Chain A
Amino acid sequence: MTVGVLALQGDFREHLAMLRKIGVDGVEVRDPGQLAGIDALVIPGGESTTIGRLASIYGLIEPIRSRCLAGMPVLGTCAGMIFLASSTAEGDQPQLGLLDACVRRNAFGRQVASFEADLDVVGLDAQMHAVFIRAPWMEKIGADVEVLASVMDDRGVSHPVLVQQGRILATSFHPELTADTRLHEMLVALIEQA
């Protein structure tokens, strides 16, 4: 079993370290040809405009889309979530359009508003410590998207920050910056279900 990590920009090395920790082979993916050898894909945190632009130039968008539409599990964190979604509240940028959601970028605010918090997650016994960095949230989600965790903003409105749609997992936060490997284990479990 091999899990690819999209390595165009961002904290892909931290995701590779998480995969090592749970005993799974991880490989960096920069070229469409490398998609053939992987059973699941992680799209890391980073700058979604940079990642989207490079993915578009290097012809990765359609190949990733078709693998995922054919059932390959995928985990997107922060910029990865934005890249997976169908649209952003701000407008045009290259996206995969696999996750039926409209995402608002930097929704929790600029860097001075970046925060850490403990989340209750559907299906998990213990809370998850989550690191949010200039984090996005999901504004509109489709009927097939299940909300696994939410965060209240400062006006008391609740926003989804961890969702699942079939074999797609997406987070506003960065599990790869903590020691908590449970989301990576969920991704691997999705391969085994396939």
Chain B
Amino acid sequence: MSSESPEVGTDKVKRGLAEMLKGGVIMDVVNADQAKVAEAAGACAVMSLERVPADIRAHGGVARMADPARVEEIINAVSIPVMAKSRIGHFVEAQVLESLGVDYIDESEVLTPVDTNHIDKHAFIVPFVCGAKDLGEALRRIAEGAAMIRTKGEPGTGNVVEAVRHMRKLSNQIAWLTTLGADELMNAAKEIGAPYDLVKDVAASGLLPVVNFAAGGIATPSDAALMMQLGCDGIFVGSGVFKSDESEVRARAIVEATTFYQDAARIGKVSRNLGEAMVGIDIDELSPSEMMQNRGS
């Protein structure tokens, strides 16, 4: 009883890993120690990067893929999936990350983009997750081969307002497509700048064809549960855990609030005495050039 013709790198296995992450929390980590804390707290995956978004924001300069030695350290430290960020359009960073054996690549606006073109993600065996502010952007990334989508939010701010805005816009646009007749879909595709075939699929199913997580500014258990109640499949926490006091307790609390996102009493219980959350930034204080969400579209 042996298997026949095993196939790797199919859409099914790329999108399938994202299905397994649903209902979970993916945490940004910069080293093996943080990765172990995240795993012990119940994270369903970790995201390896050079600096968390809040530090990228504070220090400026060009933000790149993490040092491969750090990525390898993290891969060796935990048994859960390890994701890593590449710059938008930097397909060689993605090739390097794939060769290291990372389980997902985040082609991320948190790092400094190198191209207005995104990576041709169909050319890879490793799956990709990409950020989106609206449905058109999500479907453009899926057409390029993204197997998972996340809201962009505004990373490194500790302010969830932009993630909420992006999720609401995505949901509203999906609902709108389902109300259109067949003769209206080409214009809709043109209007949102998305491939016609994917627009037709979404109009018929009322669903995004891939898993969609929330990301960008999530700092508290209530933030995580808010995004889940708005219909996200899971949560990315960037600076929110390791830029706060009591990282371990906060990490566990965010995991539990994500599982029990409809249970206010439980969210309240895990939110007690968490210490200071990361310092937040009012989005209105950022100039458009300081907003990471405007990178790549």
Contact = CB atoms under 8 A, between A and B. Distances in A.
Interface of A: 7-14, 30, 45-47, 49-50, 53-54, 57, 78-79, 90, 105-106, 110-122, 130-134, 149-152, 158, 174, 177
Contacts of B22: 9-11, 13, 46
Contacts of B28: none
A115 B259 contact: no
B256 A152 contact: no
Contacts, number: 131
Contacts of B79: 49, 90, 105-106
Contacts of B12: 116, 131, 177
Interface residues of B, number: 40
A145 to B, nearest CB: 15
Interface stretch (B37-45, B183-191, B193-201): B37-45
A149 B12 CA distance: 21
- Among B3, B13, B44, B101, find the residue whose CB has the most chain A CB atoms closer than 10 A: B3
B192 interface: no
Give me the 8 closest cross-chain CB pairs, A-B, nearest first.
A117-B3, A111-B103, A114-B13, A47-B44, A115-B6, A9-B23, A117-B6, A152-B2
Given A119-B1, A150-B1, A151-B3, A79 B20 contact: yes
Contacts of A112: 8-9, 98, 101, 103, 125-126
A9 B259 contact: yes
Contacts of B19: 10-11, 14, 45, 174, 177
Contact of A46 (B39, B44, B255): B44
A77 B19 CA distance: 13
Contact of A54 (B8, B102, B256): B256
Given A47-B24, A50-B44, A112-B125, A177 B2 contact: no
B8 A9 contact: no
Interface of B: 1-10, 12-13, 16-17, 19-24, 39, 42-45, 79-81, 98, 101-104, 125-127, 255-256, 259-260
Given A79-B20, A115-B8, A122-B1, 6 more contacts: A9-B22, A11-B22, A45-B20, A112-B125, A116-B12, A151-B3
Binding site secondary structure of chain A:
mixed
A70 B260 CA distance: 28
A121 B3 CA distance: 10
Contacts of B43: 50
Counting chain A CB atoms within 10 Å of each CB, which of B10, B19, B44 scores highest? Answer: B19
B8 A113 contact: yes
Contacts of B39: 49
Contacts of A150: 1-2
B4 A114 contact: no
Contacts of A8: 23, 259
